[in-house]
């Protein structure tokens, strides 16, 4: 699996170890030790995936994540030394696809990178079949082109946000619980804490769609059940 990885980590020993394991798996690695150098690479180069430490000199990982999401939707995995749910939720709300808490095993990082690329490529692969369009009340999703428009204006979504919205549209009128959404989109076993991840992504989707929580036009909360789009 050949892909270009942006690795931003200021702890040299960790960065070198992760770089070594990734290169052994055939990845091309661009390594940075501070946020400012990483910013230049984000603005001038293309990547398949990024690994961003949250605590960095210059610009921090969340600022870099915001820069990436302004122009690209490739997967981003956050690296954090803090086992803090707030950090994880903040990263996910900024558009991160996954997070790994230090200390971690390099093989775990490689496995997570491969998993995120596999899912991203699956949703972005070229299709020879007819273009699939999902639509409701001015909201239109082009599955093949991975394009979402609301009232003829493009909405920029992260891969996870796109997948959640697609799942809801494909099950229009049916309330899906957090467990079903998480296991379908993330492809991992659902735990109680996973509900926070779903809530963050739903909130972010609503913000981008200007969908009021009190009287939502699109994503509705079905109390005690989950979420649905009518």
CATH number at residue 68: 3.40.50.2300
Please determine, for residue 60, whether its predicted confidence score (pLDDT) is greater than 70. Answer: yes
Residues 113, 204, single domain; the answer is no
Domain coverage including residue 194: 133-229
Residues 139, 204, single domain; the answer is yes
Cα–Cα distances in angstroms (integers) from residue 41 to residues 76, 164, 223, in the given order: 15, 30, 44
Structural domains counted in the chain: 2
User: Which residue, chain included where needed, has tokens 């493009």?
Assistant: 154
Residues 159, 59, single domain; the answer is no
CA distance 182 to 54: 24
The secondary structure element, H or E, covering residue 77 is strand 76-80
Q: Following DSSP, what letter does each residue of 102-141 receive, concatenated?
A: SS--HHHHHHHHHHHHHHHHHHHS---SPPPEEEETTEEE
Q: By mean pLDDT, which of 67-76, 82-91, 159-168 is the weakest?
A: 82-91
Q: In 3-state terms, what secondary structure has residue 26?
A: coil
Residues 111, 155, single domain; the answer is no
Q: Following DSSP, what letter does each residue of 31-47 receive, concatenated?
A: EESSHHHHHHHHHH---
Percent above pLDDT 90 for the chain: 55
CA distance 230 to 224: 17
pLDDT of residue 130: 45
pLDDT band with cut points at 50, 70 and 90 for residue 131? low
Residues 137, 119, single domain; the answer is no
Residues 103, 203, single domain; the answer is no
Residues 180, 81, single domain; the answer is no
Residues 111, 17, single domain; the answer is yes
Residues 104, 215, single domain; the answer is no
Cα–Cα distances in angstroms (integers) from residue 150 to residues 153, 211, 217, 221, in the given order: 5, 11, 12, 20
Q: Highest-confidence range of 78-87, 114-123, 157-166, 182-191, by mean pLDDT?
A: 157-166
CATH number at residue 214: 1.10.10.10
Query: Of 87, 107, 124, which residue constitutes the final position of a domain?
Result: 124
Query: Of 94, 124, 154, which residue constitutes the final position of a domain?
Result: 124
pLDDT band with cut points at 50, 70 and 90 for residue 167? very high
pLDDT of residue 214: 78
pLDDT of residue 76: 94
Query: Of 124, 148, 165, which residue constitutes the final position of a domain?
Result: 124
Q: Mean of the per-residue pLDDT values for the chain?
A: 88
Cβ atoms of residues 140 and 169 within 8 Å: no
Residues 103, 171, single domain; the answer is no
Chain-centre distance for alpha carbon 198: 12
Q: By mean pLDDT, which of 122-126, 159-163, 167-171, 213-217 is the weakest?
A: 122-126
Cβ atoms of residues 211 and 217 within 8 Å: yes
pLDDT of residue 87: 61
pLDDT band with cut points at 50, 70 and 90 for residue 95? confident
């Amino acid at each position: 699996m050949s892909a270009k990885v942006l690795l931003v980590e200021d702890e040299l020993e960790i960065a070198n170890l992760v770089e070594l394991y990734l290169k052994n798996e055939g990845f091309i690695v661009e390594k940075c030790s501070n946020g400012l150098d990483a910013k230049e690479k984000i603005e001038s180069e293309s990547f398949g995936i990024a690994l961003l430490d949250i605590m960095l000199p210059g610009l921090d990982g969340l600022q870099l994540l915001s820069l990436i999401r302004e122009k690209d939707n490739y997967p981003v995995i956050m690296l954090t030394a803090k086992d803090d749910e707030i950090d994880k939720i903040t990263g996910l709300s900024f558009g991160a696809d996954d997070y790994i808490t230090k200390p971690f095993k390099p093989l775990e990082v490689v496995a997570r990178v491969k998993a995120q690329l596999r899912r991203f490529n699956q949703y972005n692969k070229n299709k020879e079949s007819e273009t699939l369009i999902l639509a409701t009340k001015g909201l239109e999703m082009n599955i093949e082109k991975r394009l979402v428009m609301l009232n003829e204006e493009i909405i920029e979504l992260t891969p996870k946000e796109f997948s959640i919205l697609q799942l809801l549209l494909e099950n229009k009128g049916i309330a899906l619980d957090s467990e079903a959404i998480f296991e379908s989109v993330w492809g991992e076993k659902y735990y109680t804490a996973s509900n926070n991840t779903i809530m963050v992504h739903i909130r972010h989707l609503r913000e981008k769609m200007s969908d009021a929580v009190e009287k939502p036009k699109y994503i509705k909360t079905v109390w005690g059940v989950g979420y649905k789009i009518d």
